Structure 1
Amino acid sequence: MVIHHWMGIDDLPDGRLLGEDSGIQWNRILDEEGLTGELFGYLQKQDFGVFLPIRTFLDAYLFEMAGRHVPERLVSPKHKLKVWFVREDMALLVEFFFHQPFAPYVVGATMSWPLRLEDVMEYETLSLFSDEDVRVERPAAATSFGGEEFAIDEAVPEDLERETDAAIERCFAEHDTVVANFSGGKDSSVIMQKCIRYKLAHRECKTKLIILSADTGSVDQPLMKEHIRKVQKAVAALPIDIPFIISEPDVEDSYLTCVLGRGYKPCDFTYKFTIP
């Protein structure tokens, strides 16, 4: 069991990211006796609203409870049960991994927190293409965990910056068109911005720059979809013509239609499907 917490009104997660309530009560799946039942009972007495969001884990559970064969697309060691506890001043996300020895995104050994939280994290405000601020957290000082250092450099190493810029310059010099894929994440944001900066600094360059993004129409986070469209507007306002294309499938080819309607196995790092 892993518990994530958000403390204070200003720190609560956006409701659009919590997921739709499945309508399934937690005690239909989890035992009310023992530590879990005691914890959940206490939280409900503290005026927390509790719900289980729709997840693949619940789909598989319902198949099993109905005595039906669980489709292959619902079977994955990464699936987990999520339970949200939400109050106006606090939110808790409890994740259950059941038979796994530990959550797949952390190490298998217990680690004690080395310092007080306020000593480890500090916050910095950044902006991307606009005056809208984004708050990010970074470690206040390098901290070691099991021989590995948890730290964020204040700046990108100069040699790495030069090599990256040189690689981008070669792309523009060797091709008639350069396509920068943009997902909204930090990696694609850096590449996109560097390509745009190159074009702005080299107006004589005839190579066309196209920014390409994709909207599945169903499974993308609402805030990320909104962010991508804000960036699209910002790019359109630049003093240079840079097409920003957002690819969207037809309804019959959408992700949910393929997975729920046609029974395709959901994509992961070992399996992909392509709609012709």
Structure 2
Amino acid sequence: MNDEKLKRGGECPLAACYSRVGKSLLFFHAVKAKCMDERYQFTEGEQRVSVSQSLKKWNNTVRSVWSYLQNNDFDFHGVVRDHSGVFSKGNGFIVIHHFTHDKPKKQMQGIDSDLVWRDIISADTTLGNLFVFLEQEDFTHMIPEQVFIDAFIHSLLLPHEWDWHLESPKNKLMVWFEKDDTTLLIEVFPAKEMAPYGVSGALDWPDLTYEYEYASSLEWSEMFGIEEVQVTALVRAANGEALTILEEMPSNALDIARMAIAKIMTESRRVCLAYSGGKDSHACLLLVLHYLLVNPDCQTEVIVVSSDTGVENMVLKEHILRVKERVESLPLSIPFYIVEPEEEDSFYTCVIGKGYSPPSSLFKWCVRRLKLEPAQKILEQLLMPEEEICLILGSRDMESSTRARSNSKIFGEEFYGTHSIPGIKTAAPIRSWTAAEVVTYLVHEKAPWEGYSNHHLLHLYGSAAGGWSECPTAAAIINENDAVKACGSSSGARMGCVTCTVVKNDDSLRNMAFDYPELHRYVEMRAVLKASQDIRYGGYTGYQRKGRGRFSGGIGDLTLDARTLILEHMHALGIKWKEKEALLSYQIVLEREISEGIAISSRFREALFAMLPVHPGVVGSMYHPIWDPWGSGVDRFTEEDRAAIERIMMEEKEQRLEEAI
């Protein structure tokens, strides 16, 4: 790049650009970026990003690349998330994402656009010189399909029509470079007023003269060949949490639980049981049902509340539905509700439509949207005037240190605890039980219905082979902090959402797939979602959106390219998506992305429409503020239209056959 022209206030040429048309013609096109001050504003943000002085790991190849940057007057701004270095020259930024001790997943690198970097960047620019150097270091490169390329090609095909999408702070060029021991993804952020990924001013260059490899405390288990889940298993087994069957259920434990149920049922007019489908809530359900059958004169109203996050383990979901049918078949008139999140808060609407990163330990947006809010709505509807509802929880002190602290905090020495919703008190009748006691109770205690025994649930735990924990149902959540801790507190031994990317490894889902082959697709889909959390794949914009053209420093939301990749994997794996959620996501993207400078590529549109029962056809007027002011999806081709056309064609065919006869 011409560094003088990159100074603020002057023209901002992206580069001297080339493009091949067909296979033989080469056209020159100079792209001039307009000043972005009028359209976008950059401000200091609240999102804090940890910036370190050096990479977590490097090798001789990385040392050579960084030495080139330092010797050619690039500024170093730090490392984000251990493996991604930010550099600048003039007011253009580049980010280098490093794969040195691991290989990138090919399915996360995107589809080759068949372009080479010389099609886009002149070799005599600063960036061109860097790429020439990498080629001399025996790197090969690949430019994936991306929104930047779409806008760039548009500007070449219409040389007199500036494509303003190239100005967007969300726009960047991504190029992969690879050799035997190292893979680099280089992101180019031309003419930006603020550094990407939340870094700030230039830092001192780290000393790269020696071989460096950082080993965190989390890696000691790997170094000694011990997995975290094995260590966890040993600790829990010592605490009585192994899923073993005792010779008999300890009478004192069962008596205490039955006394607790009796106390709850005699002191409450309305009882709500939070049912997750796991062993603990199932044991509580059986205790309540047996009490009601033994005490037919009990006047307490009992209600069961479960939840479907929309991304539940389908095997566990089927189990809950079967239990629901059995409970409703009993002569007890017990309502069994399954609450769901609003369409705008569903998992894939948030990821595909709003660009949220799949939930992580740093951003657990799923708990409130998928669990907490849907449950709160129904609990508030069940409130009674001037009298508290008792919410029965399957919480146990022995289940985990987190749950034990929570129970102690909630109950203390008192029998009843509090809830975040006024008018609700809580009780945990099996809080003192161990996992072995819960399993033993389910083995020896017969369910009060026919055709679906407790052994079906125990088989799920056997398939999970280590699924000691279950994510609590939404109604069991006392407050958001406890929900966040409980949802993903285990290293991988848990049963819940098939898309859960909060935990490091979902061992239970992977193990269950051996007995339930229909889960394999979700294992693969979760792997894609988990990998998309890694910023090294370039799936984040690098700037935090503030709305209305305002941006600040931060990791940012998912790019349209990353969302396209997720959609393509969903379709290839046969992952179903509700039509209403898909159309709502498309509407959200139209409203948010275009206003922030990103064109809705045909690749994204086709990947999303592939999830619908039928392709909507001509979509130019869909959700258009003029042609479709109510956002009703006007002019969309629907499944009903297809059925009508097929019916008419069949009638015409039959009529022609009759005429021929």
TM-score normalized with structure 1 length? 0.47
Task: Name the larger-Rg structure.
Answer: 2
Identify, as 1 or 2, the structure richer in strand. Answer: 1
